[in-house]
Amino acid sequence: MRQLGSAAILLLLAVTVGPLRAETRSGDPQHGKLVYQRYCVSCHGRNGDGAGDAADQLTPRPRDFRQGTFKWRSTASGSLPTVEDIDRTLQKGVYGTVMPSWFVIGPRARRDVIAYIQLFSSRWGKEPPPAPLMIPAEPPRSADAVKRGAAQYVNLGCASCHGETGRGDGQSAKDLKDDWGNSISPTDFTTGHYKSGDTATDLYRVLMTGLNGTPMPSFADNLKPEETWDLVDYLLSLAPKPERHASAR
């Protein structure tokens, strides 16, 4: 058998490996429809409009997929999320809502249902999602960082929605609505749990990207990376620390 030249090998890889990678990344919307009908339709609706049979009993209301608007992303404000962003939400669920973790259905079913959800908005065929935000390594936490973060909290006007002590009870809190006219509540940072995820990285990501569909803006143009980490440290400091009980003797 003759040896293949390097050009032929590259061509063979492009033909055989390329489509496999593309299929793995995008998922199968036909199978995704079945997954959606089984797990998602009662809340998000048959047309992806967030008007399923259970929607009127839920606060906050289920996401309307038709505008391609997603809160939790690693991409710039106003942009589509990446497939990985949606998969992260499906894996983790959304704390404080009825949206559970769908980790148990496995990565293939999640990718397939994401591909089906993408059919609800024409944006997915027109504007590929941009590159995700690069998040620098988290610096060591310190009392000085918390103090600087507290100053940023004041300077950025966070208290108007989230309150002076971060309980989500600011003066503007009761009047907040999302882009669909539904009433929404600012995050209460004193709980130590957040819809975006409970890690410092999750908070950093939200501060830099904002929450599309809500009044929560991106602070990418207002904060340097080190200032963002300071604010994250302050927000994390607002949650009470778990009590340490003396070991029994």
- Dihedral of the alpha carbons of 75, 77, 79, 82, in degrees to the nearest 10: 20
pLDDT at 234: 98
Please state, in angstroms and rounded to a whole number, the distance separating the CA atoms of residues 63 and 56. 12
Please state, in angstroms and rounded to a whole number, the distance separating the CA atoms of residues 98 and 90. 12
Full-model pTM:
0.85
Q: Examine residue 185 and state whether it is found in any structural domain, yes or no.
A: yes
Q: Look up tokens 């006219």; give the residue.
A: 181
CB-CB contact of 40 with 34 (8 Å)? no
Mean pLDDT of 9-31: 50
Mean pLDDT of 184-212: 96
128-144 pLDDT tens trace: 888 999 999 999 999 99
166-176 pLDDT tens trace: 999 999 999 99
Same domain, 36 and 69: yes
User: Under DSSP, is residue 64 helix (H, G, I), strand (E, B) or coil?
Assistant: coil
Same domain, 119 and 182: no
Q: Examine residue 73 and state whether it is found in any structural domain, yes or no.
A: yes
Same domain, 148 and 115: no
How many domains does the structure of the chain reveal? Answer: 2
Query: Which of 20-24, 55-59, 137-141 is predicted least confidently?
Result: 20-24
Mean pLDDT of 149-155: 98
Q: Within 13 Å of residue 12, how many CA atoms lie on the same side as its CB?
A: 6
User: Under DSSP, is residue 183 helix (H, G, I), strand (E, B) or coil?
Assistant: strand
Instruction: Name the residue type at position 70.
Output: F
pLDDT band of 3, cuts 50, 70, 90: very low
The CATH number covering residue 182 comes to: 1.10.760.10
Quote the domain boundaries for residue 205: 143-237
Same domain, 152 and 228: yes
